[in-house]
Amino acid sequence: MTETSFYDAVGGEETFRRLVHRFYEGVAEDPLLRPLYPEPDLTGAEERLRGFLIQYWGGPNSYSQERGHPRLRMRHMPFVIGEPERDAWLRHMRDAVDSLDLTEDQATKLWDYLVYAAHSLVNSPT
C-alpha cells in the first residue's frame, strides 16, 4: 500500500515552485529582509528553499544531495533574525500560501509548520 505524500497531495513541484517564487517576490521588495540575503540575485536562495520544502514534504530529496543535512538553525546563524525579521518572513509566506489553491486543511498544515519553523530560527533578542 502506498501513502500519498503531502507533496503529491498539494500538486507536487509546481505548487512549491509557485509558493517559493511568490515568497521571494515579497522578499525582493522588503527593506528589512532583502539586505540579509548575501547574493545579488535571489535565484539561488529560491532554489534552496524550494528544494528543502519539497524534500521536507515528501518529494525528491535533491536538496540534501546537493546541500547535505539541512541544519537550518546553524545555517541561519550568520543572519540576525529577531522577531521583526521572523514576522516579515512569515508575512510574505502567508501571502504566498494564500496565493495557492490549497484546501483549508492543507493550508493549515503547511502554515502551522512554517510558523513553527520560523519561530525556531530566531537567533537574536529584539
Q: Is 76 annotated as a binding residue?
A: no
The Cα 10–Cα 6 span in angstroms is: 6
Stretch that binds ligand HEM, among 6-14, 18-26, 34-42, 97-105 (CB under 6 A): 34-42
The Cα 54–Cα 57 span in angstroms is: 5
Q: Kindly state whether residue 89 participates in binding ligand HEM, applying the rule CB under 6 A.
A: yes
Q: Which is nearer to ligand HEM, 1 or 40 (CB)?
A: 40
* Residue entry with cell 512549491: 16
Tell me the CA distances in angstroms from 31 to 42, 85, 99, one per residue in order: 14, 10, 22
Q: Scanning residues 44 to 73, which ones bind ligand HEM (CB under 6 A)?
A: 44-45, 48-49, 52, 67, 72
Contact 7, 63 (CB under 8 A): no
End-to-end CA, the chain: 49
Q: Kindly state whether residue 28 participates in binding ligand HEM, applying the rule CB under 6 A.
A: no
Binding-site residue ranges for heme? 119
Binding-site residue ranges? 119
Please give the residue ranges that form the binding site for ligand HEM (CB under 6 A): 33, 36-39, 44-45, 48-49, 52, 67, 72, 75-76, 79, 81, 85-86, 89, 114, 117-118, 121
